[in-house]
A and B are shown apart, each in its own frame.
Chain A
Amino acid sequence: MALDSLMSRKLQDPPVVEVDIHAASEDQLMEMSQEMGLSLSLDEMKTVREYFANEGRSPTDIELQSIGQAWSEHCCYKSSRVHLKEFVFAIDHPDVLARGDAGVMAFDDDYAYALRLESHNHPSAIEPYGGAATGIGGILRDVVCMGAQPIALVDPLCFGPIDSDAELPPGAKHPRYLMDGVVSGIRDYGNRVGVPTVSGAFFFDDRYTGNCLVNVGCLGIVKRSEVCNNFVGGPGEVLILCGGRTGRDGIHGVTFASVELKESSEEESRGSVQLGDPITKEPLMHACLEVNRLGLITGMKDLGGGGLSCVVGEMALDADCGAVMHLDRVPLKEEGLAPWEIWVSESQERMMLATTEDKVDAILDVFRTWDVLATVVATTVAEKRTTIMWGDEKIFEMDLQFLTGGPEYCRPYEITIPKGELGEVVPELPANEKALLSLLSDPNVASKEWAIRQYDHDVRAATVLRPLVGESNDTGPGDAAVLRPLHDSWRGLATAVGCNPWFTALDPYRGGMSAVDETCRNLVAVGARPHSLTDCLNFGNPEKPDRLGQFREAVRGLGEAAAFLELPIPSGNVSLYNESPKGGALPTPMIMGVGIVEDIRKCVTSDLKEAGNSIFVVGNTMREMGGSLLYRLYGGEGGEVPSVDLDALKKKIDLMLKAMSKGMVRSCHDCSDGGLAVALAEMCIGGSMGASIQLKGLGDLEPYELLFSESNGRWIVEVSSDHEEDWVALMGAHAQWVGVAGGPSLMIHGGGIDVALEKLKKAWNEPIWNIMG
């Protein structure tokens, strides 16, 4: 190895190597970055060299590894931060109580809720079961370290086509295998820790083959007086490492997440996938929340990406301190780990607590009752430096601002002007009735019951609305899940996901806006007022200008929409480098929204309730076929991507919520994938009831456009006959009467559709069961 001459042993046992970075040529610097798995660029390596020149010495391997972790895209958002600052970070709201590892928002006068969504894409593409399970583990810790009890999990997932047996690119795993593994991983982890999985989404497209997306979200509840800091209280405190032991699993997870997947990723990176252990996590959560509730800690942070190397520095620096770490005290899974491995390992189920010396015994007592390991490993100091000791030997000493500051880039980006109707190719379409049945059976629309019933969505006994609604065991799709987090109050929390990656691919700006629009529609459909958002921005390699352009435009769209609607985004996550051997994954700005339900007893579901009630469409249907499921299914190209009228959306949200609070609305469904026709069919399926609909009055468009356009800002509403006059007066021009609930079939006059209920149910219910078994 060409680098051998630069390496010398600083410590024999355990091995610590000193690296003569000053003598390295440019080629050797790059080789060093690659061989050591640092994923640093040449310029970054030169910055590191300059730092150590000023320190007057050479770095150790553990110091270089630490920088590799801290400066990864995953940890320091070096490519994305500049855009997020411009469009997202500035959205403020008085209800934002904290922006830590999870965002914290006011729920009522005494309680707050925590929210966060993040990705676990690359690990899941290599090892779907473990990748997804540890994704759940990580998001739970983010919520727990705010002091919040996790109360719900939300999992939006994107895979290649599960119903295709086309040849896969080299190194890619079959989407069916990935989906089965991911769902099993979420099930086995989520069910074991006892947090209900209440919402999610599935997206299927060829452009996710080879780079599936596994996004995991969590909600928690916490007393406002018990919201925990993610940093230490000051110098002179101790840090207690608790939970699982540290091992070789999960080494270089963050640097692996910050490069493209390739054919050889499986062999090279399997070690970066961590091993999940929900049965260490479950008591760990109890113990951490208990010591927080008892006021025994000053701060808490989870060990996620970068492991100890990130958590120790960040906890100290955020309180303008430094730390002295005794690395030899860390409990290990196996002997023989090099110090740098201990320092960067991402072994799961670990948390770090900060406290003052006098509270240590009380904390250790709580952990003993729960049979969970807890070890004092570090002390905090006034100087903003981290020192690592192995026994009496100093093996690491770095300036924290240099280490965790990380670079920030304004990489070149390229914005493609969306073509809209120029170049639109209208596909050859079958009869509308046939198209409707095909859309209902498309895996993007069809029932996800196969997955939903494997998740415990009822544990904690606070689930008011589930992902499936209607009669028991004979259900349709819900729009948002609703939880009742406090048992002495009727106030509820609703959560839903919104995203349309196909809109985003054609028009990233409108795609970003549409994600916000859809999220709000889903929340409003159950009677919740949208309150906050969290996002997971899954995009391609930011070093490719077109990918970064997509990212910027999507962030601009969602940022503008969120700002206009006064929806803060107190937490979020960016996942770049979602590329596969076939090209970029679909740009996917995944949004998880949270809404407040004033009184859960007034919640509304999407299943039709009563024959004879009138059905209305709220919002305008336009000729916006770009990215629609109809076009995707039948080979249409281009087209206008649905626009968002924020002003109208805001007005409609207010009116809809008013109508619901007055009990006018019996059922309500968001209109999205597959347009009006699919939404109506889903309401019939859930309600076990047909409907008689007519298209006239919806505008001067072709029937297929009225039926299948995916224009934003629309709901379908069943109005209680007692309240119909009030409804019409309230909604005015925003609502159009289209028909009546009831009958044995869904009839759409002027659309050429008359399908028996049983046929609709079969088309929607069976496909995924048939594919997944």
Chain B
Amino acid sequence: MEHNGVKRMRPEEIKVCVLRIEGTNCEEETHRAFAAVGCNPEMVHLNQLTGHGPASARRSLEDYDALAFPGGFSAGDYVRAGAIFAARAKSALGKEIKEFVEAEKPVIGICNGFQILVELGLLPATDGISDVPTAALFTNDSGRFECRPTYLRNENRGKCIFTKKIGRGRTMMFPSAHAEGKLMSAERRFVDRLEDNDQVVFRYVSPDGRSAGYPWNPNGSASDIAGICNPAGNVLGLMPHPERALDAYTAPDWTRRRKKEGDGLAVFRSMVDSLSR
């Protein structure tokens, strides 16, 4: 469909590349999340994009309309989290990924995927895509892996295509599970500039939507930030897992109060709506 010169797509036309390497381990539920909102996702190994592997399995990034970096421990994360996946992707596919982002196609990185986007310089990218990372997702203040429910307030003023259809100020439960999620940067006025650019997407809050410390902010992230987007709003990175909150029955307290659906679905639906309407 063509409308006002912009390509409009039906949900099932949206091809999503769910990219993985060894140690990526949330690809199935990420795939399921895109399928749940009607998209056409495919799990693709990085080797399939770089041509390392049999020809029959070869894929090309430009054939996809959206790109997802799922959670996990890519390549073990024995260096900085996400660093190895990012280095490998950059050396073999740097140009294609840059073009993909510059074409304003949606890119989401969840947990380890967020760490990868930061390592790739695609986030925060406040001054454009950077060659070296300008921020880091540092070890949690507790020094431990933290698996617990977290509540996020949508803070975005309308730029991020993954939250456009979610009311500003709405509080949602996406669980967290990570050891390195504390967003930090040595840049001056880091948080202020994110705010100025409308790059802050999610903040950790208590279940009733108020600012709160640990454990509601599980990692000590600056200004309770849980997720950010790039200045264009098409690249989102967040530590908590919306793909783990697709139905009402994975919520931590569903036997006490029951919702119609999981809160995470809204993120994926928002992207589809942005591309299809």
Contact = CB atoms under 8 A, between A and B. Distances in A.
A371 B148 CA distance: 33
Contacts of B57: 365, 369
A233 interface: no
A194 to B, nearest CB: 2
Contact of B147 (A282, A368, A454, A471): A454
Given A191-B73, A458-B175, A460-B28, A471 B253 contact: yes
16 contacts: A191-B177, A192-B25, A192-B76, A192-B77, A279-B73, A365-B53, A370-B45, A452-B147, A453-B147, A453-B148, A459-B244, A461-B26, A461-B241, A463-B250, A466-B252, A609-B256
Given A192-B73, A458-B175, A472-B148, 13 more contacts: A192-B25, A194-B26, A279-B75, A280-B22, A371-B47, A454-B145, A454-B147, A458-B177, A460-B29, A471-B253, A472-B252, A487-B32, A607-B255
B246 interface: yes
Interface in A451-492: 452-466, 469-473, 484, 487
A457 B147 CA distance: 7
B215 A454 contact: no
A288 B192 CA distance: 49
Contact of B22 (A283, A453, A464, A473): A283
Contact of A369 (B47, B78, B241): B47
B243 interface: yes
B207 A472 contact: yes
A463 B254 CA distance: 12
Contact of B255 (A192, A193, A461, A603): A603
B96 interface: no
Nearest to B176: A458
Contacts of A593: none
A185 to B, nearest CB: 13
Interface string A6-22: 00000000000000000
Interface of B: 22-23, 25-26, 28-29, 32, 45, 47-48, 53-54, 56-57, 71-73, 75-78, 144-149, 151, 173, 175, 177, 207, 215-216, 241, 243-244, 246, 249-250, 252-253, 255-256
Q: Interface on chain B toward A: helix, strand, loop, or mixed SS?
A: mixed
A371 B74 CA distance: 13
Contacts of A604: 255
Given A194-B25, A461-B243, A604-B255, A279 B146 contact: no
B149 A473 contact: yes
Interface of A: 187, 191-194, 278-280, 282-283, 365, 368-371, 452-466, 469-473, 484, 487, 600-601, 603-605, 607, 609
B22 A193 contact: no
Cβ-closest 7 pairs across A and B: A194-B25, A461-B29, A279-B76, A369-B53, A283-B22, A472-B149, A461-B244
A368 B56 CA distance: 12
Contact of A464 (B76, B147, B215, B249): B249
A459 B73 contact: no
Most buried by B among A368, A369, A461, A609: A461
Contacts of B45: 369-370
Contacts of B71: 459
B53 A368 contact: yes
Contacts of B244: 458-459, 461
Contact of A187 (B32, B53, B145): B145
Most buried by B among A187, A371, A458: A458
A282 B255 contact: no
Contacts of A459: 25-26, 71, 177, 244
Contacts of B146: 453-454
Nearest to A609: B256
A713 to B, nearest CB: 24
A750 to B, nearest CB: 30
B144 A454 contact: yes
A337 B216 CA distance: 52
A461 B32 contact: yes
Given A192-B76, A194-B25, A369 B54 contact: yes
A262 B247 CA distance: 52
A749 B28 CA distance: 52
A465 B255 CA distance: 9
Contacts of B76: 192, 278-279
Contacts of B216: 473
Nearest to A362: B54
Contacts of B252: 466, 472
Nearest to B70: A194
Given A484-B249, A607-B256, A365 B22 contact: no
A187 B177 CA distance: 11
